[in-house]
Amino acid sequence: MKPDILYPDTFCLDCLRKHFCRAMSLAKEFSYEEENEAFIIGDLECAILHCMDTLPELAKEIRDIRHKVQDGDLKSIDWQTIYKKIKEEIKKENSLTYSLK
Protein backbone atom coordinates (compact mmCIF):
# COMPACT_ATOMS: atom_id res chain seq x y z
CA MET A 1 0.00 0.00 0.00
CA LYS A 2 1.14 3.49 -0.80
CA PRO A 3 1.13 5.77 2.29
CA ASP A 4 -0.21 8.82 0.44
CA ILE A 5 -3.35 7.10 -0.89
CA LEU A 6 -6.67 6.85 0.94
CA TYR A 7 -8.04 3.33 0.70
CA PRO A 8 -11.62 2.36 1.56
CA ASP A 9 -10.48 1.20 5.00
CA THR A 10 -7.99 3.99 5.72
CA PHE A 11 -8.79 5.82 8.95
CA CYS A 12 -10.17 9.17 7.84
CA LEU A 13 -12.56 11.31 9.84
CA ASP A 14 -13.39 13.51 6.85
CA CYS A 15 -14.34 10.45 4.80
CA LEU A 16 -16.30 9.06 7.75
CA ARG A 17 -18.25 12.30 8.06
CA LYS A 18 -18.85 12.50 4.29
CA HIS A 19 -20.29 8.98 4.07
CA PHE A 20 -22.33 9.30 7.26
CA CYS A 21 -23.82 12.64 6.20
CA ARG A 22 -24.71 11.32 2.78
CA ALA A 23 -26.45 8.31 4.34
CA MET A 24 -28.30 10.59 6.78
CA SER A 25 -29.36 12.93 3.99
CA LEU A 26 -30.63 10.08 1.81
CA ALA A 27 -32.53 8.60 4.76
CA LYS A 28 -34.29 11.89 5.38
CA GLU A 29 -35.13 12.61 1.74
CA PHE A 30 -38.90 12.90 1.80
CA SER A 31 -40.72 9.91 0.29
CA TYR A 32 -37.59 8.31 -1.19
CA GLU A 33 -36.45 6.29 1.83
CA GLU A 34 -37.17 2.94 0.21
CA GLU A 35 -35.59 3.85 -3.12
CA ASN A 36 -32.49 5.15 -1.32
CA GLU A 37 -32.08 2.14 0.98
CA ALA A 38 -29.21 0.51 -0.94
CA PHE A 39 -27.31 3.80 -1.11
CA ILE A 40 -27.85 4.43 2.61
CA ILE A 41 -26.57 0.96 3.49
CA GLY A 42 -23.55 1.38 1.19
CA ASP A 43 -22.56 4.75 2.62
CA LEU A 44 -22.94 3.51 6.19
CA GLU A 45 -20.66 0.57 5.35
CA CYS A 46 -18.09 2.98 3.89
CA ALA A 47 -18.31 5.07 7.07
CA ILE A 48 -17.70 1.94 9.15
CA LEU A 49 -14.64 1.01 7.09
CA HIS A 50 -13.08 4.44 7.68
CA CYS A 51 -13.24 4.12 11.48
CA MET A 52 -13.47 0.43 12.45
CA ASP A 53 -9.84 -0.05 13.45
CA THR A 54 -9.29 3.25 15.26
CA LEU A 55 -12.78 3.92 16.66
CA PRO A 56 -14.38 0.48 17.05
CA GLU A 57 -17.19 1.65 19.36
CA LEU A 58 -18.28 4.32 16.90
CA ALA A 59 -18.07 1.77 14.07
CA LYS A 60 -20.35 -0.53 16.08
CA GLU A 61 -22.90 2.25 16.59
CA ILE A 62 -22.92 2.98 12.87
CA ARG A 63 -23.26 -0.75 12.19
CA ASP A 64 -26.31 -0.82 14.49
CA ILE A 65 -27.82 1.98 12.42
CA ARG A 66 -27.09 0.03 9.24
CA HIS A 67 -28.97 -2.95 10.68
CA LYS A 68 -31.96 -0.73 11.47
CA VAL A 69 -31.95 0.50 7.87
CA GLN A 70 -31.76 -3.07 6.61
CA ASP A 71 -34.71 -3.94 8.86
CA GLY A 72 -36.71 -0.97 7.52
CA ASP A 73 -36.66 0.82 10.88
CA LEU A 74 -35.53 4.30 9.76
CA LYS A 75 -37.85 6.14 12.14
CA SER A 76 -36.04 4.91 15.28
CA ILE A 77 -32.56 6.02 14.18
CA ASP A 78 -30.94 8.83 16.17
CA TRP A 79 -28.73 10.26 13.43
CA GLN A 80 -27.80 13.42 15.33
CA THR A 81 -26.23 11.63 18.29
CA ILE A 82 -23.82 9.74 16.06
CA TYR A 83 -23.12 12.85 13.98
CA LYS A 84 -22.22 14.75 17.15
CA LYS A 85 -19.81 11.95 18.11
CA ILE A 86 -18.15 12.18 14.70
CA LYS A 87 -17.80 15.96 15.09
CA GLU A 88 -16.26 15.48 18.56
CA GLU A 89 -13.67 13.11 17.10
CA ILE A 90 -12.88 15.67 14.41
CA LYS A 91 -12.47 18.38 17.08
CA LYS A 92 -10.12 16.11 19.04
CA GLU A 93 -8.07 15.37 15.95
CA ASN A 94 -7.91 19.05 15.00
CA SER A 95 -6.84 20.13 18.47
CA LEU A 96 -4.13 17.46 18.49
CA THR A 97 -2.93 18.51 15.04
CA TYR A 98 -2.73 22.19 16.00
CA SER A 99 -1.05 21.48 19.33
CA LEU A 100 1.73 19.58 17.57
CA LYS A 101 2.63 22.55 15.34
Give 18: exposed, middle or buried? Use CB within 10 Å, 0-12, 13-18, 19+: middle
Mean pLDDT in the chain? 91
pLDDT higher than threshold 90 for residue 18: yes
Model confidence band, residue 99 (pLDDT cutoffs 50, 70, 90): low
∠ CA 73-48-31, rounded to 5°: 35
Model confidence band, residue 5 (pLDDT cutoffs 50, 70, 90): confident
Residues 71-98: tens digit of each pLDDT: 999 999 999 999 999 999 999 988 876 6
